[in-house]
Amino acid sequence: MTLASRALAQLATWPDLRQAVPSCGQGQAVSSAKGEIVHFHSERDVDLRLTDRAIRRFAKDLRHTGAIRIVPGSQWVTLRLDAASDVDLLLTLVSVALQAQQTPSDPAERPLVGCNDQRGAGFVKADLGVF
């Protein structure tokens, strides 16, 4: 079982989440009632929608981990799943994302534009479909 499939299986058990087709059309997604939260693009690369406010709040901590890439101008962060601890980090950040969706929108929040797949330089991605 890959780290991504392990994370997806765990998220599938959360009552507020459901598996979905990602709006970018690649891989698999997890959504809440308020929209997409996670896109699994490969066995290792995951995009997570945190919102502008959450990214600003945690940016310093997020930048200190080699597992996360922040793309300027995006409400999504990209996680590289290389170890079991990266899955734990993803699950923690999904909790943050769910909480961020519950707070009123920030007037300065940028409009949601897709995920980070195909945006900016960084990790090499491969569309592996269902894993």
Under 8 Å between Cβ of 98 and 7:
no
Q: How far is 84 from 49, CA to CA, in rounded Å?
A: 21
Kindly state whether residue 109 falls inside one of the protein's structural domains: no
Q: Give dist(CA 127, CA 119) in Å, integer.
A: 15
Q: Is residue 29 part of a domain?
A: yes
DSSP state letter for 111: P
In a domain, 124, yes or no: no
Mean pLDDT, the chain, as a whole number? 80
Among 5-14, 49-58, 59-68, the minimum mean pLDDT is found in 59-68
Range of the domain at 81: 3-102
Total domain count for the chain?
Answer: 1
pLDDT in tens, 63-79: 777 788 888 888 889 99
With pLDDT > 90 as the criterion, what percentage of the chain qualifies?
40
Q: Quick check: 14 pLDDT over 50?
A: yes
Instruction: Write the CATH number for 36.
Output: 3.90.1150
- 68 in any annotated domain: yes
- In the structure, what pLDDT confidence band is assigned to residue 23 with cuts at 50, 70 and 90? confident
Element (H, E) at 7: helix 3-12
